[in-house]
Amino acid sequence: MEADYVVVGAGSGGSALAYRLCEAGKQVVIVEFGGTDAGPFIQMPGALSYPMNMPIYDWGLKSEPEPGLGGRQLVTPRGKVLGGSSSINGMVFVRGHACDYDHWAEQGADGWRFADVLPYFKRMETWHGGTDGGDPDWRGHSGPLHVTRGPRDNPLFDAFIAAGHQAGYPVTQDYNGRQQEGFGAMEATIWNGQRWSAANAYLRPALKGGRLRIVRGLARRVVIEDGRAVGVEYEAHGKVSVLRARHEVVLAASPLNTPKILMLSGIGPAQHLQAHGIGVLADRPGVGANLQDHLEIYMQFAAKLPVTLYKYWNLLGKAMVGAQWLFTRKGLGASNQFESCGFIRSAAGVEYPDIQYHFLPIAVRYDGKAAAEGHGFQVHVGPMRSKSRGAVTLRSADPRDNPVIRFNYMSHPDDWEDFRKCVRLTREIFAQPAMAAHVKHEIQPGAGVQTDAEIDAFIREHAESAFHPCGTARMGRADDPMAVVDPEGRVIGVEALRVADSSIFPRVTNGNLNGPSIMTGEKMADHILGRRLPAENAEPWVNPEWRVAQR
């Protein structure tokens, strides 16, 4: 069996890339280990805490014990399903800040400035914001990915935005438009009350066209002959086969599994490969290095008024919400409940936001455990640009073994300082009149946690991953010894092999990574096809007082 292009992974990057290649008349086969994304747990936005905790949909990967977090092992969910992590994520849509991409270009990712990526963000989306303001000229209006805003019916959503404004921060009409900085409505990949994953946006239309096939199986390695990738070896039903690529092989298997497949194929740090008995085809020490993520804490508050979602946090309430969604695609089940947010700078001298807020009108964890106190709400907060770096390495030469994942969270002293600022700035926001009217008391960290040492102990015990890993096959110039792919996505040292997922990010972007991952697939398809959308020199807003003022 062969195709023009063989893609590993039917997730955000792989789906977008396959769609564009098929649109251009190419034959594409995707190798995907996961199964169908059908069913309410994935398709119902309000059920988002379920799929990321279900072994049928999630790879079940965990970090090694993290020294900076008291030896805790953190879960790092990755989608093992059509649509990849876009089928199990929180559906929050953030492009990232313009300065993120300009930084990529400075690090050697030529052609990935904000001016270069903005046309791809526009091409990929159909934006349904705008009823409460926004920047239509910065947005796309005919792409496969629907981006919407929640109704913000719960009064707490607007109270959070108002409190941010009362604390002296700007309000932004569209954080995915000209001005990210400030508080405003959050956007999501939800359409007609349903999760609008990469599977719904890209895979289904491409499959209908007849040029895309999806093969179920575990990708074991890239087959390389005379320095050129010619196919992918995969295992299905106990049998090992090879899918041949007439033109190229593209890896889009996640920033945790893409470096694993590269190393199993003989591409990676030579000594590490040799230690596992793997022949070295390309000595690339950057494979698996540069691992980054966003870490966050949940600051939880007990509510004075019974306006939170806690009233539905029982069997009958959940059944009612689920039934309404099943029959009408409306109601609370049609939202991810992340409907307002904020992006702020932690200090004067920080050019653009480095703290992100997701507000949620219930006090509950990602694993579905509600706060014991009943009615409450929370905000997820964490620094955006941690200086800590980790690595993904091989556990063994067996493709069925999960990789070794070490994030080295909180290993840089600045991370502690940044997190303390997060706690203190957040308390100030929740003390503003708009939120103070709703706050009974702080559940966690709790009013007794005040000193640096007390805050640090809370972080050590309670910080969680925001599930934004990236960077393990980073883009750079071909003469950069730690770069893995060049700015065209081509693996340095091997022909006809590319990477098209968040592995290639030189540095983690501001906010959630699904949007940038889909953009990567869209743009890499054009690199493969030898075409490029013209750059757009839109001028993003940066606070003119950033050098001297925190807000």
543 is in an annotated binding site: no
> Can you tell me whether residue 253 is helix, strand or coil?
coil
Cα angle value 529/534/540 (rounded, 5°): 130
Buried-state track 58-90, b at ≥16 Cβ within 10 A, e below 16: bbebebeebebbeebebbbbbbbbbbbbbbbbb
Binding residue per annotation — 124?
no
Say whether 89 counts as a known binding-site residue: yes
Q: ∠266-519-296 over CA atoms, to 5°?
A: 85
Is 375 one of the annotated active-site residues of the chain? Answer: no
Please name the residue that has the structure tokens 């509950």: 364
SS3 at position 101:
helix
With contact defined as beta carbons under 8 Å apart, do 82 and 34 qualify? Answer: yes
CA 428 to mean position of chain CA atoms: 28
CA terminus-to-terminus distance, the chain: 58
> What are residue 256's phi and psi, to 5 degrees?
-105, -35
Helix%, strand%, coil% for the chain, nearest 5 = 30, 25, 45
Contacts of 128 (CB under 8 A, 6+ apart): 146, 147, 148, 149, 191
Q: Which of 97, 146, 468, 527 is catalytic?
A: 468
Show the tokens assigned to 10.
């039917």
Task: Flag whether 336 is marked binding.
Answer: no
Region label for 378, one of left (φ > 0), alpha (ψ between -120 and 50) or beta (otherwise): beta
Q: Where are the alpha helices (DSSP H) in 31-143?
A: 40-43, 98-106, 114-124
| Helical residues (DSSP H) of 24-113, grouped into ranges | 40-43, 98-106
SS3 (DSSP) at 445: coil
Residue 341's alpha-carbon distances to 52, 184, 379, 424, 503, in angstroms, are 22, 6, 9, 17, 26
Cis check for the bond before 445: say yes or no (omega within 30 of 0): yes
- Whole-number Å distance between alpha carbons of 511 and 187: 12
Q: How far apart are CA 77 and CA 296, in angstroms?
A: 15
Pairing of strands 28-32, 2-8: parallel
94 marked among binding-site residues: no
The rounded distance, in Å, linking the Cα atoms of 48 and 296 is 18
Q: Where are the alpha helices (DSSP H) in 188-238?
A: 198, 204-209
User: Is the Cβ–Cβ distance between 445 and 453 less than 8 Å?
Assistant: no
DSSP string, 52-66: GG-TTTB---BPPPB
Catalytic residues: 468
What residues form the annotated binding site?
81, 89-92
What residues form the annotated binding site for FAD?
81, 89-92
